[in-house]
Amino acid sequence: MGTYPEYKQHMQKIADVKNTLAVLQWDQETYLPAKGAAFRGQQIATLSELIHQLSTDKNLGDILENLQSENNLSESEKKNVSLSYEDYNKQKKYTPSFVRSMTETISKSFHSWIKARKENSFAVFEKDLSELIELKKQETDILGYSAHPYDALLDEFEKGCTVQLLDKTFTEVRPSLKNLLDQITTQKQVDDSFLYQHFPKQDQWNYGIYLIDQLGFDKEAGRQDISEHPFTTSFNKNDVRITTRVNENDFNNMTWSCIHETGHALYEQGLAESEYGLPCGEYASLSIHESQSRLWENNIGRSSGFWKYQYPTLKQYFPEQFKKTSLENFYKGINKVVPSFIRTEADELTYHFHVMIRYELEKKLIEGTLTTHDIPAYWNEQYLKYLDVNVPDDMRGCLQDVHWSHGSFGYFATYSLGSFYAAQLFAAAKKQIPDLNESIENGNTAPLLKWLRNQIHQFGRMYTSEELCMKASGEVLNIGYFMQYVIDKYSKIYEF
């Protein structure tokens, strides 16, 4: 027949293998020696195949079918069963051979992406990426879709997300962002040259560790390391890994990577331990995950209130670099709006054009109107069109993101959705915590973290993105909150 404890045991067994795989993938991006790449790819493929076997086991299907009609389950137990059954039926669509092929191609693509970045040549990555895109096209047929093949991939990261929905959202926000950017470009530009001095690697690293401590990252339940591209991964809520990267001539790179990834990590550390391996112990969606990182990175980490408290300590770490820079000028400088090449270093406004370009590009690749060979030229053309910048080379162009080498097609749009959710959630938090601004100015972000734990983190996948947004803020996603936030902020910084 199958009982809930049997179901839970099976799901936790799957989670154990998944998280073992995640350790290998984390190591692959941090400490793996170059010669270990081929065997690591094989090991990852084997574990991925095993996960698929466990996830599609007939016994699990029988247990889930039986539990569908069980009347003695709690609300969260019913939700776990319902979501697991949905996941089970989706996994059944994949063959073991497809899973292995996809995993091996992703592993190969990741290492060719690393090599391509070192050689600053997209051509080095092109063949493996092309194979991966063909597999992704096959995956859209496996998963099924009604309107556009890209919908199948979008749904993997944001349930219910479609090309139609994103086209509408980006069409709505694009002119408002463009109008704001046009206003800013008519004003005197702020100075951020103080951010591009020499900042020794070890000093930056030490400051980054201080920062993540300040935000509430539990180092007994996680750690930070260096990687080619900053990321967060979690093996369970008590073992969450974040990475950053350091550029000794750019203070921005490490600082806001640390804050961004800590936002992700705080979410993972806030999930329910009792729900390990179950849907209610997993994050709600990628846009909600991104809402957490973008909220901490921008709404907090680029706010005047946060730096009112933190700036004196920053000057202790870098006394020479910031001795002539006032707090006001520091705040303006870290919020400078200027079109640039790199998404992760972009300001809050131009950032969304970076996302839109990637969204349109992926959509065209999956529908077949663009080929892998066309990527560099299309990329450069769009950057000139939307941001009026000439992309100097592949590394600062179409090779800058790790996502494609991971097979993560359909991910990028969640960055913008996450920013929109972040502004709305932060507005709700300020309403519900009357002295929140004062707490942040006194260096205390714990009340905000507690609010996020209660409103977002603890629920896992119990609710969809929109349901969570409604519970926390009283309404579904409203882009107006984001636009109001950036208009209020940048009209003061640029004095218009």
What is the Cα 231 distance to its own chain's centre?
8
Q: Are strands 239-244 and 232-236 parallel, antiparallel or unpaired?
A: antiparallel
> Crossing angle of helices 4-30/37-55, nearest 10°?
170
Q: Is 261 a catalytic residue?
A: yes
The single residue of 29, 139, 261, 275 carrying the catalytic annotation is: 261
How many residues are present in the chain? 496
- Return the sign of the alpha-carbon dihedral for residues 338, 344, 345, 348: positive
* Residue owning tokens 């892998």: 372
Q: What is the DSSP letter of 442?
A: T
Burial annotation 237-260 (CB, 10 A radius, 16+ → b, else e): bebbbbbbebeeeebbbbbbbbbb
Dig out the tokens for 81 from the structure: 């069963």
What is the Cα 380 distance to its own chain's centre?
24
Q: Are strands 222-226 and 239-244 parallel, antiparallel or unpaired?
A: parallel
**Coil, strand or helix: which one is 224?**
strand
Which residues, 6+ apart, have CB-to-CB distance to 33 below 8 Å?
none
Residue 337: closest CA among 298, 374, 366: 298
Three-class secondary structure assignment of 240-267: EEEEECCECCEHHHHHHHHHHHHHHHHH
- Return the sign of the alpha-carbon dihedral for residues 438, 440, 445, 451: positive
Question: Which residues are annotated as catalytic?
Answer: 261
